[in-house]
Amino acid sequence: MAKLRVAVFASGNGTNFQALVDAAQQDRLDGASLELLVCDKAHAPVVERAKKAGVDTFVFAPKEYDSREAYEREILAELQRREIELVVLAGYMRILTPVMVDAYEGRMINIHPSLLPAFPGINAIRQALDYGVKVTGVTVHYVDGGLDSGPIIAQRLVEVLDGETESTLATRIHAVEQEVLPWVVGRIAAGSVSLDGRHVTVTTL
Ligand code: GAR
């Protein structure tokens, strides 16, 4: 079967990118292949991770462009040149414009560290702690034009313990992210994810 060609967008540490690399190497991505890392920060650790894993990188400096649309058009051309079929946003800390969102509608997913629609946007783990919720978690969803608002593919719960700090909670949330993201990519690669309006069905074998 033809492999699903995947690009990952990330801005920082890249533990989710690493989880995808590890899963691909261990044959846990149902044939998805990681073709490209797109990163907006030349010195982000994720760039080093990609080089080590032998994944090509497209690194750009947003400041060098006149607009978000301008750099997105360049990224899009690169994705099209490489025939990328799925875009995975894994800690990509930039708002997307319709240039990217429309081109990859239904073919772009994001991982977010809360149970959406609670706590969208930045600092979701901090937001959940400050609010005092007893459960939070992880969401993987399709990307639409809104802020963390697209159809939900998978969610996992993480309990908030007494005396929790942002750091202890983040450690457990990240561990869950690193399980669920490769699982979702594998399900998409296997053709087991279907989208009907806001409703997503994932079949497991
Ligand atoms: C992850 O926790 C991801 O859910 C979050 O950024 C972190 C990136 O970690 N994304 C967002 O908050 C998007 N709104 P990583 O670079 O180690 O994968």
In 3D space, the residue among 99, 108, 93, 114 whose CA is nearest the CA of residue 143 turns out to be 108
In 3D space, the residue among 43, 12, 198 whose CA is nearest the CA of residue 113 turns out to be 12
pLDDT tens, position by position, 85-107:
999 999 999 999 999 999 999 99
Using the atom order of ligand 1, give the atom closest to the CA of residue 15: 17
> Number of structural domains, the chain?
1
Domain span at 144? 4-202
How many alpha carbons lie under 13 Å from residue 179 in its C-beta half-sphere? 12
Using the atom order of ligand 1, give the atom closest to the CA of residue 93: 13
Say what the pLDDT of residue 51 is: 98
CATH code, domain with 132: 3.40.50.170
pLDDT, greater one: 31 or 143 = 143
What is the distance in A from the centroid of ligand 1 to the CA of 170? 10
End-to-end CA distance of the chain: 17
pLDDT tens, position by position, 102-130:
999 999 999 999 999 999 999 999 999 99
Whole-number Cα distances in Å, 17 to 12, 98, 203: 10, 24, 24
Kindly list the catalytic residues: 112
Q: Is 108 annotated as a binding residue?
A: no
Ligand 1 pocket, residues with Cβ under 6 angstroms: 10, 12-16, 90-91, 111-113, 124, 174, 177
Q: Which of 9, 11, 15, 176 to mutate to test the pocket of ligand 1 (most atoms within 8 A of CB)?
A: 15
Q: Give yes or no for residue 181 having a pLDDT over 70.
A: yes
